[in-house]
Structures are given as C-alpha cells and as structure tokens.
Amino acid sequence: MQKANFSFYTNTLLDGGVVALPTETVYGLACLALNADAVDKVFRLKGRPASNPLIVHVLDLDQANGLSYPDEMCSLLSKRFWPGPLTLILPKKKVVPDNVTAGLDTVAIRSPSHPLFRKVLQLTGEPLAAPSANPYSKVSPTSAEEVITSFGNTCPPVLDGGKSEIGLESTVLDLSCQTPTILRPGPISKTEVEKVIGREVLNPNETIETGSPSKSPGLSVKHYAPETPVRLYPSLKELLSLAPSSSENLILIPSKKSLPLFDSYSAAVMYFSETGDPVEIGRNLYTSLHKGDLLKKKIIHIPLIEKTGGIVEAINDRLRRASTI
Ligand code: TXA
Ligand code: MG
C-alpha cells in the first residue's frame, strides 16, 4: 500500500492511471472521467462488461454542470444531500466519453463526502469516474485491506482512508425519466428524496417507461457475492428451524444478542452488529461477508433484516443479490 502521499495519487491520475480511493460508502477504483483510455483501464482491471456504466464523482454541482444538464430536482437534491451517498442520473453532455456511460445518453454523478477523496478531487481539478473497487460481481470493499485482498497482485495503489463509514453503495436515482426512479436502493431512502422534491418517486421494479432495454444496466441480480454460496432466509426464526447446525456451515446473524440461540450449534456463527442497529449492520455487512468467505465453509446462511425504513431496504437488497442458492 502507498503512503498517504497526495501528489503520488494525483499525478498517477493525471497521467491516465488508476488508483483506489476511499469514499464514505465503499472504496472506488478511480480514473480521470474525461480520459477514455484511463476509463478503459478501469473496465479491464475490474473485469466489468462495457455495457455497465460508471459513476462520475465531482466536487460540487458546478462541476456536475460541466458534464450534464441538471434540472430543478437535481439542484434541490444536491443542495440537501451532497456531499453524500446520492447518485443522480442526468442527461449527459458530449464531453463525457461514451465508455463512461456505456453508450447511454445519461451520466451518473455524485459528490462523495470522504475528505481524502475530496482532497484528490481538488488537487486534480478533474471529475473522477469510479466504480466500487472490487472485481466484477464480487463483494464491495469498505477498507484498504479488502481492496488489496480482492485484487491480489493486480491491485492498483490504494489510498488508505480507514473503514468506510456507511459501508453500502450510494442510492442511485434516475432523474432523466418522466417519474424519478430509484435504480439502486441505498443510504438515502425513497421517502427522504420525496420529501425534498415534493414528488412521488418510483422503486426499481415500478418503472413505468417501457421500450428501453434496462434503465439500470449494472443491477444484475447476482452481484455483491462472496465465493462461498449464500443461502438466505426470510427471518431469524426460519433460519433457526431450517439451517443445518453442522460445522461445515457458517451462520451470519444481524445481532450479537441472538448468539445464545446457537449455543448447541457446531456451525461457525458470526454477527453483523453488536446491537442490531441497521446503521451498524450496513457498515459491517461487506466486511462480515469478506471475513465469512475466508473461513471457506460450504454454505453461509443469513436471515433478512426484519425491520423497515432507512437503510434496511438497501441491506436486504444487497443480501438478496449476494444469495446464490
Ligand atoms: O457508493 C457508490 O456509488 C460507489 C462509490 C465508489 O462511489 N460506487 C459504485 O459504483 O457503487 P458501481 O460502478 O459499483 O455502481 C454504479 C451503478 C451501477 O449499477 C451502474 O449500472 C449504475 O450505477 N449506473 C451508472 N451510470 C448509469 C446510467 N447512466 N444509467 C443508469 N444506471 C447507471
Ligand atoms: Mg459495484
């Protein structure tokens, strides 16, 4: 890992290279968004299909203006939620290379709040394209160590900014369609968005426009998956009655408080949080999946979070995408 030497990271980016940077959501694999060759490098390193567009990270709405045509809703939302975990899909300007947007006429933009990412944005003076810093379809990294583990000897330089505070990817909100639509649930909920724009917002499966192949090309169902198969249960109660207790299994539960229920199990048991607080579960979700994977068990058994509101929808969305059996 490189030391926090900002000129090294800035110069690598300005030379058309790729570096991993911390954000408040997950780590990103960053390059100059307006340099198509650098963007190609990110796609190759990640093993990501060219049909899946990247998010462009900006300092503020002014910088977003250079890349897209923001509307009134964008102004209201960016004022309220930027810098922060909200990505807005907007009509794109020609200056954005086609490979960034996978040929779409829209571009995804967000302004991250992590101070180290913002410092690099300031020093380069350029918008930075950055998908999550994991090989395609694998679990997103929330620490520098996880970036290094998941890329092994193809790992680019990683700027260590500690553990990502939120731990789940940003909410992706499409403002380019008739009715604003959440394409990826995240830390900022549909209700919070509706309050700010004073309009109804649709969920991913409620898209009313037809005819377009897929509004969110990156949202393949199998995603965010560890190597070990994940089996999901609708509740802790169902997991208790159905999951095998033998030692080749790993059971991952929301709260440490439920540990005594598994006293008689030979299976390994891990928990996402001390208290069951959804914010804490969100922060630890990917790290727990990374750690669980390292145990090399036959199956990881996980119950959905039995709460509603806030970040719970995003957590359960990621768990569904991680489950493979
Ligand atoms: O929190 C985050 O958003 C992190 C950090 C690094 O900022 N980034 C991230 O990027 O999660 P990525 O590439 O892993 O996910 C971007 C998502 C994908 O599902 C992609 O398909 C979608 O955003 N996306 C990007 N551009 C789009 C567009 N023009 N229209 C619809 N969806 C788009
Ligand atoms: Mg990703």
Average pLDDT score over residue span 153-171? 97
Residues 65 and 192 in one domain: yes
- Between residues 213 and 313, the one the model is more confident about: 313
Confidence bin at 216 (pLDDT 50/70/90)? low
Is residue 220 within 8 A of residue 239, CB to CB? The reply is: no
Of 88, 158, 172, the residue with max ligand 1 atoms within 8 A of its CB, to mutate for a pocket test, comes to 172
CA distance 292 to 289: 5
Confidence bin at 310 (pLDDT 50/70/90)? confident
* Domain annotation covers residue 206: no
Residues 166 and 283 in one domain: no
Q: Which residues pair with 31 in a beta bridge?
A: 129
- Write down the pTM of the prediction: 0.94
* Domain annotation covers residue 251: yes
Domain extent at residue 307 = 230-322
Confidence bin at 213 (pLDDT 50/70/90)? very low
Average pLDDT score over residue span 260-278? 97
Is residue 4 within 8 A of residue 111, CB to CB? The reply is: no
Pocket flag, ligand 1, residue 218 (CB < 6 Å) = yes
The protein residue whose alpha carbon is closest to atom 30 in ligand 1 is 216
Nearest ligand 1 atom, CA 106 = 29
Average pLDDT score over residue span 102-107? 98
Residue 3 has pLDDT above 90, yes or no: no
Domain holding 192: CATH number? 3.90.870.10
Average pLDDT score over residue span 140-152? 95
* Domain annotation covers residue 105: yes
Tokens of 35: 């340099």
Counting Cα atoms < 13 Å in the Cβ hemisphere of 46 gives 31
Is residue 189 within 8 A of residue 307, CB to CB? The reply is: no
Q: Which residue has the tokens 């990621």?
A: 318
> What integer pLDDT is reported at residue 224 of this predicted model?
76
CA 184 to chain centre: 9
Number of compact structural domains in the chain: 2
Cα of 184 vs centre of ligand 1, distance in Å, is 8
> What integer pLDDT is reported at residue 212 of this predicted model?
46
Residue 210 has pLDDT above 50, yes or no: no
Pocket flag, ligand 1, residue 83 (CB < 6 Å) = no
Name the burial class of residue 6, with classes exposed (0-12), middle (13-18) and buried (19+) by CB atoms within 10 angstroms of its CB.
middle
Name the burial class of residue 204, with classes exposed (0-12), middle (13-18) and buried (19+) by CB atoms within 10 angstroms of its CB.
middle
Residue 209 has pLDDT above 60, yes or no: no
